Amino acid sequence: MARVMVVDDEPIVGSRLRPILERAGLEVEVFLDAVAAHARLGECRFDVLVTDLRMPGVDGLQLLERALEHNARVRVLLITAFATPELKRGVLARGAFECIAKPFRIGDLRDAVLRAAEASAAGEE
Amino acid sequence: MTGILGWLGGRERSGPPVVALRVTRFRQLLTGYARLLDLARDAAVKQGGEYVFDRQFVRTLVEAAIDIAESAVFDLNVITREASLSYYEACEKLAAEARLALRAGLESLDAEDAAIPPSPQGGTDLAQAIAAAPLLYRQAGQVASRGIASAPVVNLEDAGGPVGDPRGAVLVAAGLDLDSPALALLDGAAALLLDGNSPADGVASLARQRRIPCIVRLRDASRRIRSGTVVTVDAEDSAVYAGRVEELLALGGGEEEAEYRLLRAVRRGLFELTPGSNRTAPVPSACRTLRDLVHLAHLVAGDALFGLVRAEAAKERRARAGADVVVFAADSGAGTDEGPLASVFVGMRAGGVSGAGGVTRYAAVDRDRCILLAAAHGGIDVVAAATTDLPSANFLYCRLVPSFGATDVDGWRGRIGAEVLRRIGLEVAATPREVSAWGRGMDAEELGPRLEVVGRLVAWRGGDTKGDPVGAARDLLRESGWSRR
């Protein structure tokens, strides 16, 4: 079972995503606090990280770097209300698997997470 | 049409600069109003539950609506030559109220427990149970109201009437509107599946109010799912399964998140149209929402533009009595025999308007845009359209006086007009003072027939309504060939 970390300081994101991802057979940990998520990434390997970009304390790019440091096979999906083509290019260049604009269809995000989990399992680093 | 008169500038039909500038402003105001309606529709779709949005989305929504209202008030003041300054004050007041309500809503969200509730059940067992359930639909439609329910189906399209007890059933229908008698069955239904409709329409809103799980735009559910079939509707994940999926039902439908409640309150404050009484003329200070203000601004702007072009035409000797249409402020050499205005004229001719009939109409035209203004029954009718090669830039707008005058105290013109406009797929707002309608995002081929129907409505002089607006609307559409399309 793939392990997914969801990080967003807005509770609605975790509360909507967790049940949908669990229904898809994924093991999900949700964090409102990006600092706590940052620490957790050092303790445990996740196959997929879904994170907001702008958060207090630690931002999504710092989480991305931290996740890749500890597991080169992790796939990172950045979600943001401030998506632009430049931003998307920038985060993909830094190793993100996808950059998804908010608001998003919950089914689309679930499908993206499943693709990311497959890519992680395929083992390309 | 006969007697079309090029006015001021002859063949160039350039019109006086002041008229051309105000026509442009009026178009801007209409475009702004269309954007406000787009925002309202998009927010209603988000309310349905299929999307995850955050607080930033709600903040942006409020600011975007305020921007549109401020622009509309500015455009109105250009068109009325600063005779509508009180709209600025009303706009400031409504904007401040909207921001205050948003701030209060956000503070209330902050005060709530921000913990993520644990899932009641999860993991491999649930995923396997769902994977094993016979799937009828996944991500095929759009969630209009969240929740999970299972029950036998009552298909409302069954020949000879619905088979089975609709109470506690999953209702399936091709489509419903707020006038559908079948809507009464919604009370007590377990869930609702529709081939058509939209998460932004009134039926979806009703399903949300009654907390009935609802998926719309399933395309063929009414042909595919027979009465008596037991289904499980998962309107948390836009899926329908054959049979009961106990593991899903055990999850239940959770409480909706506070953000959805905030969005609902914000939408009400921004986008509801509260037309008030027809006994008193509407004033900006009485507007309760930004939509009220933009709506009123566009009516007043239309009236002012009509007054201006009529006054300018009166100065022009060539605008003689007997002309059907005075063309002004055209941007190019295009005439009235092509583009959207030509489609409106086709409908008007079919509706029996072959001459002026004592009414002078004023039109601004270019190759793919038009505005038609016509005195009608104590008010004015307006038709505006753009039929470019770019569907996203296209629109159809019309405004009709809702009564034939003293002989039409019940407002049949408005009632039948509204029904016709709804049936051709436009978004209709009916108030005691006018019926207005919008269509957006269609290509020119889709707009043409609709413009013909609108032309027919403009020309319509009434008839035997038999006290039935729906039947009369159907008759009018049949006569205009719409029902064959």
Distance CA B93, CA A74 (A): 51
pLDDT band of residue A54 (cuts 50, 70, 90) is very high
Nearest to A54 by CA among A82, A92, A90, A29: A82
Report the SS3 class of residue B37. helix
Structural element, H or E, at residue B62: helix B55-79
Distance CA A76, CA B433 (A): 55
Percent residues over pLDDT 70 in chain A: 98
Diameter over CA atoms, chain B: 84
Instruction: Note whether B141 and B224 are within 8 A (CB).
Output: no
Token pair 């939209």: residue: B198
pLDDT tens for B53-100 read: 999 999 999 999 999 999 999 999 999 999 999 999 999 999 999 999
Distance CA B397, CA B400 (A): 10
Distance CA B419, CA B340 (A): 22
Please answer yes or no on whether A11 and B114 come within 8 Å at the CB atom: yes
CA B259 centroid distance within chain: 25
Report the SS3 class of residue B148. strand
Burial class for B136, CB neighbours closer than 10 Å (0-12, 13-18, 19+): buried
Closest residue on chain A to B119 (Cα):
A19
Single-letter code of the amino acid located at A59: D
State the pLDDT at residue B312.
80
Report the SS3 class of residue B317. coil
Distance CA B118, CA A19 (A): 9
Structural element, H or E, at residue B153: strand B148-155
Q: Which among B39, B50, B52, B58 is the top mutation candidate for probing chain A, defined by the most A β-carbons within 10 Å of its own β-carbon?
A: B52
pLDDT tens for A99-114 read: 999 999 999 999 999 9
Please answer yes or no on whether B116 and A106 come within 8 Å at the CB atom: no
pLDDT band of residue B279 (cuts 50, 70, 90) is low
Q: Which among A4, A7, A8, A15 is the top mutation candidate for probing chain B, defined by the most B β-carbons within 10 Å of its own β-carbon?
A: A15
Percent residues over pLDDT 90 in chain A: 94
State the pLDDT at residue B240.
97
Other C-beta atoms within 10 Å of A79: how many?
26
Please answer yes or no on whether B57 and A14 come within 8 Å at the CB atom: no
Instruction: Note whether A90 and A103 are within 8 A (CB).
Output: no
Which residues from A are below 8 Å from B54, CB to CB?
A: 8, 10, 12-13, 81, 102-103
State the pLDDT at residue B156.
93
Which candidate from A17, A23, A103 shows the least CB-CB separation from B51? A103
Q: Which among B54, B241, B257, B260 is the top mutation candidate for probing chain A, defined by the most A β-carbons within 10 Å of its own β-carbon?
A: B54
Structure token digits, residue B201? 């329409």
pLDDT tens for B396-408 read: 999 999 988 777 7
State the pLDDT at residue B9.
36
Structure token digits, residue B361? 């109409």
- Tell me the nearest-neighbour CA distance from A77 into chain B, angstroms: 15
Size of the A and B interface in Cβ pairs below 8 Å: 89
Residues present in chain A in total: 125
More reliable by pLDDT, B348 or B338 = B348
Which residues from A are below 8 Å from B119, CB to CB?
A: 18-19, 22
H helices present in B280-369, as ranges:
290-315, 339-350
Q: Is the pLDDT of residue B34 over 60?
A: yes
Distance CA A103, CA B153 (A): 33
pLDDT band of residue B386 (cuts 50, 70, 90) is very high
Token pair 């430049």: residue: A86
Cis preceding-peptide flag for B181 (omega within 30 of 0): no
Please answer yes or no on whether B60 and A81 come within 8 Å at the CB atom: yes
Burial class for B292, CB neighbours closer than 10 Å (0-12, 13-18, 19+): buried
- Strand-by-strand arrangement of the B325-328 sheet: B4-6, B325-328, B361-366, B369-376, B379-386, B395-400, B435-440, B427-430
Distance CA B15, CA A125 (A): 68
The structure's pTM equals 0.89
More reliable by pLDDT, B128 or B461 = B128
pLDDT band of residue B322 (cuts 50, 70, 90) is low
Structure token digits, residue B130? 């769902």
pLDDT band of residue B332 (cuts 50, 70, 90) is very low
- Which residues from A are below 8 Å from B when comparing CB atoms? 1, 8, 10-20, 22-28, 30, 32, 81-82, 102-107, 109-110
Distance CA B49, CA B238 (A): 10
Whether B86 has its CB under 8 Å from any CB of chain A: the answer is no
Tell me the backbone φ, ψ of residue B384, rounded to 5 degrees. Answer: -135, 145
- Tell me the nearest-neighbour CA distance from A110 into chain B, angstroms: 10
Residue B419, CB-side half-sphere exposure with 13 Å CA sphere: 18
CB under 8 Å to B119, separation ≥6 — which residues? A18, A19, A22, B251
Other C-beta atoms within 10 Å of B198: how many?
18
Distance CA B11, CA A45 (A): 76
Instruction: Note whether B449 and B440 are within 8 A (CB).
Output: no
Please answer yes or no on whether B237 and A107 come within 8 Å at the CB atom: yes
Q: Is the pLDDT of residue B343 over 70?
A: yes
Residue B451, CB-side half-sphere exposure with 13 Å CA sphere: 30
Instruction: Note whether B273 and B292 are within 8 A (CB).
Output: yes
Please answer yes or no on whether A15 and B257 come within 8 Å at the CB atom: yes
Q: What is the DSSP string of B410-461?
A: T-HHHHHHHHHHHHTT-EEEE-SS-EEEEEES--HHHHHHHHHHHHHHHH--
Distance CA B115, CA A15 (A): 9
